[in-house]
A and B are shown apart, each in its own frame.
Chain A
Amino acid sequence: MLYFTISFSLMLFTALWMWALARKFQYRDAAGVETPFSILDLQFPSSEQELCNIIAGLSPAARKALRGHLWVDFLFMAGFYPSIAFLCIIVGDKTGAGQYFFWLMATLQLYAWMFDIQENGYCLRKLRKPVVSATKNAFQSYSFFVYAKFILCLTGVAVSVSALFYCWITGNFEMGSLWYVGVLLVELLIAWRIKAAL
């Protein structure tokens, strides 16, 4: 539970950092209009050309913010995927034979992490050189990494949170863990206040 709290804190802190950077995301489109975009636009572009257009249209400030966002994202990953994996392991310990399933889910988070690293690497490469590749392979792999990452981590969250809820209502938890829950809630509250203040 301690490891989970540490990784969750790291995730929360870096998520706030990335949120602050993402407020500067704007690019100049083909018609010369400043258009806001989100990191999701980079993750789910309609084509490689669109991805390149966004990156090519970045102002120096937005480019710097995006580069910073991508580097901070590596730290975020170090908090996010271990958080889900720890949650799976914690919950799995309380489910008897079900623990093997949860260990599998925890292991899959490593793959999701790896995919996310690949995805970020691709974006950083595009940031250096926003040109459409001669072959579609790289972009297709990138799209695969994005979708696979989301599916794995969201499935991990879905199964662990619902099992956690089950443990809660059946009273299958240790009272000592409530301290950690309290810490997490306070962290969430602080993060929310900081976000509102920014």
Chain B
Amino acid sequence: MASNKLMVGLEIGTSKICVVVGEGRPDGTIKILGVGQAPSRGVRKGEIVDFETAMKCVHEAVVDAEQKSDVMIRSVYVAVAGSHLQSFNNRGCVMLPEDRDEIDERDVEDVKINAREVSIPAQNAFLHSIIQHYHVEGQDGVLNPIGMLGQKVEADFHIIHGVRTRIQNSIRCVKELPLDVEDVVFGGLASAQVVLTQHQKDLGALVIDIGGGTTDYVLYSDGVVKQSGCLALGGDHITNDISMGLRIPMARAEKLKIEEGSCILGNSLPGEMILLKDESGFAGKEIEREMLNTIIHLRVREGLELLKRGLEEEPYLTYLGAGIFITGGCSLLNGIDHLAEEIFEIPAHLAHAQTTWGVTSAVEDPQFSTAIGLVRFAQVMQTDRPRRGFRETIGKLFRMR
């Protein structure tokens, strides 16, 4: 079983906790052995606010996954999210010593360290440094400079960093269970690994993972990550708006959003009402459908417009050949792809994990994109295939505790 190593992805989401157990095949595919999930409490906007409660929920989900996949889970890959995550592109540069002109691993390592030498706030830690392109002696677009001749190596990196202690909170929560944390991965980045194919990354694509508490996004252009980030805005906000606008309890609002909600306006008949049934099945309150949709529409539109404004600070949005891919729990919202298409003026698709097989119900559910993405991430890390986009992250930094 050495070649079929078990990999487990754990996403501590705002609305639910997902655990995906996967098995890497020698041919590079992943087989999903089982998924576990549990409703999440004690998490707001992607970050833990109630440690004890969150821990219990994680435990529940892990136990569920163990039962369904019939394996023992010892170590996991954890996804992190939260508005504290930030990213930027930076270029590192290294000159080779006079007496040597063949570039080797050391130089590549040096250039990576060099690229990290930028000031991030003192309390922040690097989460990912993702290589974009190397430049050797002015030659652009070098994919692997090792073995090439040149005096000057430069490398463009996309760097994601976040507040160290907040990232550590997720790790602590898992370690208390006790489970080992193999690595921490930005949720959006994990989703993108399974939502997009390499071809789509090359063409240029934007993955928007709208979850319960956060909206993570990753923009690929030329096959590499150019922009990424996390907005603390998600399905919870829609539910909250509905609950406040229609004056119904949160649980009812959530149900209404899932069953009846849509973010397309003008699709309902004038005066069309939705009858809310209470628990006993008796007719309760009546709600105008258009009003429900207006509330949802305004919120989703605002979020997407905000995202667009943020992305427009750099020019990559115009180079998206493959379009926009929306995943995460909120992508199930009726009409969200049409709204995104209208706002971004780029074709938008609903997406879920690709290139995996096994428990298809899980694979096809966009809510599991991140957790499956973690498994994919783990696979890439473990086979240590020198694949563009990933290098070892500095998980050690967090594992020290």
Do A and B come from the same complex? no
